[in-house]
């Protein structure tokens, strides 16, 4: 039995297979998950479970991230969530894109991880970094 870290086998595998510049998307409960992405990890059980920030924190504890992409609409629609996300990435580049473009870019992801979050625009594309 694994002693620590991510216990979910699919999520653990996704993180282990993510390389430099690969996309991993952590989403709220409402973002459509593109069918062309094979690795889709749905952790949404019910509203608020599992919360977006808990899922995000778990992923970034194990994944090197050099850049994030978020929808520009989050700034006005969900400013508190925006601030929470930004505070986690002081050493990463941050790119704001229109939500419609965000949804298109998710089609290029190595994997998608859905949370049970019901906050508007609580979605982030994590761009894999390197640890050296």
**Annotated active-site positions, please?**
20
Instruction: Provide the 8-state DSSP code for 129.
Output: -
Task: Name, in order, each residue with C-beta under 8 angstroms of 98's C-beta and a sequence gap of 6 or more.
Answer: 71, 72, 73
Instruction: Say which residue the tokens 């694994």 belong to.
Output: 2
Q: Which three-class secondary structure state does DSSP give residue 42?
A: strand
Residue 8 annotated as binding site: no
Phi/psi of residue 112, nearest 5 degrees: -125, 140
Distance, in Å, from the CA atom of 107 to the CA atom of 73, rounded to the nearest integer, reads 20
Residue 61 annotated as lining a ligand binding site: no
121 has binding-site annotation: yes
**How many degrees, rounded to 5, is the angle at CA 128 between CA 5 and CA 114?**
60
Which residues participate in the annotated binding site?
A: 28, 99, 121-123
């Amino acid at each position: 039995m694994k002693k620590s870290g991510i216990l979910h086998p699919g999520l653990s595998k996704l993180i282990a297979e993510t390389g430099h510049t690969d996309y991993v998307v952590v989403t709220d409960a409402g973002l459509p998950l593109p069918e062309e992405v094979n690795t889709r990890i749905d952790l949404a059980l019910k509203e608020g479970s599992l919360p977006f920030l808990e899922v995000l924190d778990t992923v970034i504890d194990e994944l090197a991230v050099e850049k994030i992409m978020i929808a520009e609409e989050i700034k006005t629609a969900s400013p508190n969530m925006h601030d929470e996300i930004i505070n986690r990435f002081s050493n990463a580049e941050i790119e704001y894109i229109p939500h419609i473009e965000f949804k298109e870019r998710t089609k290029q992801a190595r994997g998608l991880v859905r949370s049970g979050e019901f906050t508007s625009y609580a979605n982030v594309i994590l761009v894999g970094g390197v640890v050296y």
